[in-house]
Amino acid sequence: QSALTQPPSASGSPGQSVTISCTGTGRDIDFYKYVSWYQQHPGKAPKLLIYEVTERPSGVPDRFSGSKSGNTASLTVSGLQAEDEADYYCYAYAGNERVFGTGTKVTV
Amino acid sequence: EVQLVESGGGLVQLGRSPRLACAASGFNFGDYTLSWVRQPPGKGLEWVGFIRSKLYGGTTEYAASLKGRVTISRDDSKSIVYLQMNSLKSEDTAVYYCTRDFVQYGGSKPHFSYAMDVWGRGTTVTVSS
């Protein structure tokens, strides 16, 4: 199972929005609804932001939203804040395997 | 407090076979699928594998690239999940995280979201020659 493809970097000014894409290979994102997104600050463990494409765990601000179209999932961060500067990873369920995206560094 | 704490990392010689452990607390360990994820220095996350709860057979799945070199097991009586690594290579140098699968209980049956809602802080394995 190959890694899902994400842009290496994205950026935006405080208050703006940024959208990160995550493209699968056809056996993962396209067929399943189980795409999740994680935020990782330097030296820290990742944190779950979005699960099942669009759902937010309790405690995650509604500035973070997810969507999916065909074989591409997306994470949008609205109203960018300084603390949103981090690495972001998508993750998909592909039957008995799981796969992460290549990761996107967001700069605010 | 729900918590996962990894141990067993450190400087390991090339070719050795260390075993990492992850101790859980604050939740019903036996009800959950547990996974291992690793991250080489300066690189992205890589799924290593997972072990299902005993209710779902306690079976394991592994990344194709690692199949045959890693084994995940669990001891529900101690709330510990293990990652046995065999014949370490230099590219196995990484931070190894233990994670819990996100499951929602409350309805007639559990709802699996196939996401990871709890992560440990990780343990670093550095392979030396």
Residue A30, pLDDT score: 65
- Give the list of residues 6+ apart from residue A58 with CB closer than 8 angstroms, or none: none
> Taking CB atoms and an 8 Å limit, are B119 and A46 in contact across chains?
yes
Q: B3-19 pLDDT, tens per residue? A: 999 999 999 999 999 99
The confidence score (pLDDT) of residue B38 equals 98
**pLDDT tens string B19-35:** 999 999 999 999 999 99
What does the pLDDT read at residue A28? 63
What distance, in Å, lies between the first and last C-alpha atoms of chain A? 32
Token readout for B76 is 């529900």
Neighbours of B79 (CB within 10 A): 18
Owner of token pair 């670093």: B124
pLDDT number for residue A107: 98
**Per-residue pLDDT at A27:** 66
pLDDT of A106 reads: 98
- Please indicate whether, in this complex, the C-beta atoms of A46 and B45 are within 8 angstroms of each other: yes
d(CA B52, CA B63) in angstroms, rounded, equals 15
Q: How far apart are CA A31 and CA A18, in angstroms?
A: 26
φ and ψ of B5, to 5 deg: -130, 115
Return the percentage of chain A with pLDDT > 90, whole number: 80
Residues A84-101 pLDDT 10s: 999 999 999 887 889 999
Which among B37, B46, B113 is the nearest to A34, CB-wise?
B113
Q: Please give the Cα distance from A94 to A89 (Å, whole number).
A: 16
Structure tokens given for A22:
């995550």
Mutate to test the interface with B, among A33, A47, A48 (most CBs of B within 10 A): A48
Task: State the nearest Cα–Cα gap between A6 and chain B, in angstroms.
Answer: 11
> Phi then psi for A102, rounded to 5 degrees?
-75, -15
- A interface test, pick of B116, B123, B124 with most A CB neighbours within 10 Å: B116
Please state which of the ranges A21-35, B36-50, B64-78 shows the lowest mean pLDDT: A21-35
More confident site: A28 or B67: B67
User: What integer is the mean pLDDT of B25-53?
Assistant: 97
pLDDT band at A20; cut points 50, 70, 90: very high
Tell me: the pLDDT tens digits for B83-120? 999 999 999 999 999 999 999 888 888 888 899 999 99
